[in-house]
Amino acid sequence: MDSDFDEFLHVPARLGIVALLAPVRWAEFGFLRESLDTSDSALSKQLSALAAEGYVEVRKERGVGGRRTLARLTPEGREAFRRHAAALERIAALARTGERGSRDS
């Protein structure tokens, strides 16, 4: 397996979260929940796991509209996602090369 493949990050729920966080500075909890079509408790559990690993920062704010929870990738999380995505691309490229080779045989 590719050394940049991150088993922890590859869990589908976690990978979905970091993929949604990658292009933004901060994302609201509700946006993540709706985008991933998951429950509050399942999302909270995965965000906590990502935060414990140092990949995500979670912030709670109080405002006029009430409380809101925001999340963002840490620099470490952003780099881990970049490395993991690159590993997936290399694995896919090898699979495509293997497919061509088996057809030619």
pTM of the model: 0.86
Domain that holds residue 31: 12-100
Q: For position 64, which CATH number holds?
A: 1.10.10.10
**Average pLDDT score over residue span 9-37:** 97
Q: Strand pairing of 66-73 and 56-63?
A: antiparallel
**Average pLDDT score over residue span 62-76:** 92
Domain total of the chain: 1
Q: What is the pLDDT of residue 2?
A: 82
Q: Tell me how far apart the alpha carbons of residues 44 and 65 are, in angstroms, rounded to a whole number.
A: 21
**Average pLDDT score over residue span 44-61:** 97
Is residue 39 one of the residues assigned to a domain?
yes
Is residue 6 one of the residues assigned to a domain?
no
Whose tokens are 């993540």? That residue is 32
